[in-house]
Structure 1
Amino acid sequence: MPPSLTESSAGHAQWVEDRHVAVTAPQGPLALVLTHWSPAGAPPVDEAAARAGHPADAVLTRLQRADIDSGVTQEGYRIWRRDSPANEAFEKIETYEYDPDWVINGRFELVDEQRVVPFEHLRDEGATRALPVSGDLIFEVQGREFRLAAFDTVYGGTAKLQLVFGDTTNGAESYGAGRFLFLDRPAPDRPLVAGESIGIQVDFNRAIVPPCGFSNQMNCPLPPAQNRLPFPVRAGEKRVRFAGDFHP
């Protein structure tokens, strides 16, 4: 039996609270004050140099990526601080009221493992990074079918499907660069082959502001053309509210 509206609303309220805890955590997006990338092929910056000018309780993490031009590995690091300007100015995440109409039953269709989609990223000045798409989310809104590309990721320590999407609320009501939605990848009773599909629930009430809405040191993928919905999705998170005129 599906949960009642009261149960769903209560679950949504808990999710909103959990999101507040997550974004204000020691390594939540509000705490990120620096992302640094070394030139392609260069060694990592040593810890003392990376920490220079930051308090002793700042958190240092390492990361890698392929250089967008050469494909050669780039070494990077991030600095996270509880006393970041964003953390100190943060007030809340503005969120739409829970709406059961935005819990949509659709299907996840596996695609060929070689399929990639070019995603433009916020800090790449118009260049694109090709991300492998694991499948399409297919659902209907007002009798019209939509097919949006999703890819595999890890979110909260768990393997998920990630949808990067846009809609007509972006910039007016919700975060201008689009929003993210993380979904449990459905488990079929046998391996699927490309073109086969399995049912999936797409709950837009769990749409979130991307990390780049909290820190300008995040480099988020932007919705590709096929993931831009031509109608308003008034569900999930809208945008981040900061005190005064602060802007990340």
Structure 2
Amino acid sequence: MPIHTAPQPNAIAEHDAWRDDRRAAVTAPLGNLALVETRWLAEETPATVDAAAAAIAAEQPSGVTVTTLRRTHLDTGQDEVGIRRWDANAPAIGAFDGIEVFPYDPAWVQTARFTPVDGSRTVPFEHIRDNGGSRELVVPGDIVFTRDGVEYTMSAFDDGGTLLLVFGDATNGRDDESGSYGAGRFLFVQRTDDGGFGTAGEVVLDFNRAFVPPCGFSVQYNCPMPPPQNRFAGDLLAGERIVRFREDFDLYAV
């Protein structure tokens, strides 16, 4: 069940502060809007990619940062390395007009139970740029709760030591004021104790802090999409909805 029934002034103030932090984060020099290129370097290896990135960085104008990344190739299963270019003056930053959100609603602060699983369990997540392909992500336990009489068992994956829930609902892709980002939304899971992935305990899903994934800000991201068990049948009217840009800006034409 939800853990709050009426909005508290401090909760609303904290939510407003979170929104301010989000705006600052996505417009930062290494924020979601700044990513202008993701390039995979077939000729490089984990041992040589840093030097390759340094050479590319040396050719960039002021305000551009180059970082490295790696992933597992879907077909070969081998490590694949690449670079990302971040531009503090990216067109998307200049055209950014804010993130639309649903009104804060304490009824969408949901308690749940986290139950760990033995070993390193993985769950396949389809990714937005993989043409239907799936990548195995480590899901260290189940998140179980009941909402509107329906019991859900959802899978949140390990995102650098924090549980990240990728979920979908009936608002995704809807083209009206109740619509949200088409590919689903993200939410960090909050524990109510100091337990880690290996211990069971209560968690909080504050869906007011659901956020548009990075791929809603730049087409250079390859975001995971909600697996079937992470989809709500109805509307989840909380959290961020969509990213707004100036009318003359086309994110997909950049």
**TM-score of the aligned structures, taking structure 2 as reference length:** 0.87
For the pair 1:16 / 2:14, whether they are aligned, the reply is no
For the pair 1:50 / 2:53, whether they are aligned, the reply is no
Contact 2:173-2:182 at 8 Å conserved across structures: yes
Structure 2 counterpart of 1:168? 170
Structure 2 counterpart of 1:86? 92
Structure 2 counterpart of 1:5? 8
Contact 1:40-1:72 at 8 Å conserved across structures: no
Paired-residue identity, %: 47
Letter in 2 for 1:103: V
For the pair 1:223 / 2:229, whether they are aligned, the reply is no
Contact 1:41-1:73 at 8 Å conserved across structures: no
Q: 1:89 to 1:146 in 2, by over 3 A?
A: same
The alpha carbon displacement at 1:48 in A equals 6.2
For the pair 1:37 / 2:10, whether they are aligned, the reply is no
- Structure 2 alignment gaps of length 5 or more: none
Letter in 1 for 2:79: T
**TM-score of the aligned structures, taking structure 1 as reference length:** 0.89
- Structure 1 alignment gaps of length 5 or more: none
Structure 1 counterpart of 2:73? 67
**What pairs with 1:85-234 in structure 2 (closer than 5 Å)?**
85-154=91-160, 159-172=161-174, 173-185=179-191, 186-188=193-195, 192=199, 197-234=200-237
The alpha carbon displacement at 1:247 in A equals 3.1
Greater shift in the superposed pair: 219-228 or 61-70? 61-70
Q: Would you identify which runs of 4 or more consecutive aligned residues in structure 1 move more than 4 Å? A: 40-43
Task: Please give the alpha-carbon distance, in whole angstroms, between the structure 2 residues aligned to 1:13 and 1:150.
Answer: 25
Letter in 1 for 2:10: E
Task: Please give the alpha-carbon distance, in whole angstroms, between the structure 2 residues aligned to 1:227 and 1:180.
Answer: 11
Q: 1:59 to 1:41 in 2, by over 3 A?
A: closer
Letter in 1 for 2:194: A
Task: Report the aligned-residue RMSD.
Answer: 2.3
The alpha carbon displacement at 1:39 in A equals 2.0
SS class of match (1:162): strand
* Count of paired positions: 240
Task: Please give the alpha-carbon distance, in whole angstroms, between the structure 2 residues aligned to 1:98 and 1:238.
Answer: 12
